[in-house]
Amino acid sequence: MMKYATGEAMLKDALRLSQGMSYKNAMADLPLGGGKAVIWGDSKADKSPDLFRAFGRAVASLNGTYYTAEDVGIDVADMEIVRQETEFVAGLDHGAAASGDPSPITATGVFRGILETARRAFGTDDLTTRTIAVQGVGSVGAHTCDFLAKAGATLVITDIDQAALKAVAARTGARIVAPDDIYDVEADIFSPNALGAVVNEQTLERLKVKAIAGAANNQLVMPEMGELLRRKGILYAPDYVINGGGIINVAAEISGNYSRDWVDSKLDRLMETLGAVLDEALAQDKPTNEVADRIARQRIADAR
């Protein structure tokens, strides 16, 4: 749920997010296609039971070809209202195979993905000498910060939510910077966990990091940014690969038989896939997003 500037911007975002879901499911080796719903509105002011019931009826009209789950601006309580109109809702707290909020599993994958990326960018995944600039300390970002702090990383964090910032800083010892200053931080890794399109020509000029690895969907403003990152010597962990933990958790719920062991083994394989993408890109001097897109499209073609 977001306050889009125009209907066209909303449609474009929905299509980009849908493609991302298709590629994400393929990279996580899940028996799912990809789709995404967007709601045009201010998640802090425009929520109502009627809105979510109407959304639920729209999802119901698709007869199970589409499952919805919480994402930006939406929480489990909203999804409970959607559930009153349709059974095709995942990420709930109760029910036969309820998997709950996917964010902790997403964050587990993001943390492990940061280790995979660090190993290739710095030759070691020891984070005790690394500074990580984290943008967004919401559901995924906050958990990711906890993992990173435990691994000994120095954290610099930003958000527009002051309460969330204070809570994470108190737990992790992170230094807080203003939202726009996060791109100028002297850090080793930039971890975007808030919005899309944050890697663009303006921010690329400012970023001093050697790697980008975070949960946000659609981090690159356009695919060509991947080549610009490669030329600048920044190793980019493709967003829809590193952030696939949550969808694995949701897929376990959709299967009707949730198993944490199954989720863990799928996450292990996803991390191997991320490593393979980074290795191939480095070996062949190719942008990481191009390598990931090619593998995702190949997997989709094979499944067809």
The one among 216, 242, 251, 281 contacting ligand NAD by CB under 6 A: 216
Return d(Cα 264, Cα 108) in angstroms, integer.
10
Quote the least distance from Cβ 147 to ligand NAD, whole Å. Answer: 14
To ligand NAD, the closest distance from the beta carbon of 228 in angstroms equals 21
Binding of ligand NAD by 41 (CB under 6 A): no
| Pick 179 or 233: Cβ nearer ligand NAD | 179
Q: Does 141 bind ligand NAD (CB under 6 A)?
A: yes
Exposed, middle or buried, 122 (CB in 10 Å: 0-12/13-18/19+)?
A: middle
Amino acid at 181: D
Stretch that binds ligand NAD, among 29-37, 190-198, 227-235, 255-263 (CB under 6 A): 190-198
Is the dihedral angle over the CA atoms 17, 219, 52, 141 positive or is it negative?
A: positive
| Token pair 């919401």 in the structure block, residue | 138
Told to check if 2 binds ligand NAD by CB under 6 A, we report no
Q: Which two tokens stand for residue 99?
A: 């998997």
Quote the CA–CA distance of 26 and 111 in Å, as a whole number: 21
CB of 231 to ligand NAD, least distance (A): 25
Instruction: Write out the binding residues for ligand NAD, residues 256-275 only, by CB under 6 A.
Output: none
Residue 237 touching ligand NAD (CB under 6 A): no
Contact call for residues 78 and 47 (beta carbons, < 8 A): yes
36 is catalytic: yes
Q: Does 135 help bind ligand NAD (rule: CB under 6 A)?
A: yes
Q: CA separation (Å) from 5 to 8, 152, 235?
A: 8, 40, 32
Catalytically active residues, by annotation: 36
Q: By the criterion CB under 6 A, which residues form the site for ligand NAD?
A: 71-72, 102-103, 106, 135-141, 158-161, 164, 179, 193-195, 215-217, 243, 246
